[in-house]
Amino acid sequence: MPEVNADGNVSDLNANVSQVTGIRAQFSDPLKNHEAFTGFQKADDLANAYLEVMGKAKDYEGKLANSIPKLSDKATPEEITAFHKSLGVPDKATEYEFPKGDGIEHDPKMVEWAKNTFHEAKLNKEQASVMSKKWDAFMQELGVAQNAAVEEELSDADGKLKEEWKAEYDVNIELSKRAFKHFANADLGEFKAHPVLIKAFYAIGKAMGEDFSPKGTQTGGTKLPSGFVYDKSPAPPKGD
């Protein structure tokens, strides 16, 4: 129905509605000029828009189906257990598996500690496996670095020992080996012994004297090859 506005002009509230054409002309009056439908003129426009919305809703529904809802502050023990299980946390710590790589040996006590710790931290099996592999790799790198440091230390110490013993180095080493063989029943050359240990067995061998004298050594003023001269070595037999 026409109405008179404040300026005295007649206005028709249904004028805009009556001008709607296309598919919107079939809508009820409240929807004909609704902003959600102003861009539609054909039935296909509305149908395509509907299909697009439904497609997005289905995709969103699929994402929600795979999502894990956040626990509420008032979650029950049963809900908490179900939540952790949905994340892949095993029911028991013994269910974790730590496969060994090449050259890796796992300490049973370390494995038991890791399983209990990972379960307490609520790690799933995949996370625990990653942690195990990273730990193994770290320990291997650490072992290589430690071995290199030991090799360098032994090399430096042996260099100082050579500098200290100079020409007597080979003779003194031989004496150390004899003393080590006597007391340890093992070959010193098979071990990467620290020079301090070598010097200790050298001192023992020197103190024991003839018990460790190399075969064929001579004393009595004769200069022997390689300096194999030791205290208390037996004198050479006298000639005719």
> In the listed set 97, 119, 145, which residue is the last one of a domain according to the structure?
145
Domain hosting 128: range is 81-145
Domain for residue 139, yes or no? yes
> In the listed set 110, 145, 180, which residue is the last one of a domain according to the structure?
145
Q: Same domain, yes or no, for 38 and 96?
A: no
The pLDDT tens digits of the residues spanning 222-231 come to 333 343 344 4
Q: Same domain, yes or no, for 53 and 96?
A: no
Domain for residue 24, yes or no? yes
Domain for residue 21, yes or no? yes
The pLDDT tens digits of the residues spanning 1-46 come to 455 455 555 445 454 545 777 777 777 787 778 777 777 777 777 7
Q: What percent of the chain has pLDDT over 70?
A: 75
Q: Same domain, yes or no, for 111 and 139?
A: yes
Coil, strand or helix at 4: strand
Give residue 94's pLDDT.
Answer: 93
Q: Can you spell out the DSSP letters for 75-144?
A: --HHHHHHHHHHTT--SSGGG------TT----HHHHHHHHHHHHHTT--HHHHHHHHHHHHHHHHHHHH
Q: What is the mean pLDDT of residues 214-228?
A: 40
Domain for residue 19, yes or no? yes
Extended beta strands in the chain, E state: 2-4, 10-12
The C-alpha angle 31, 33, 37, rounded to 5 degrees, equals 75
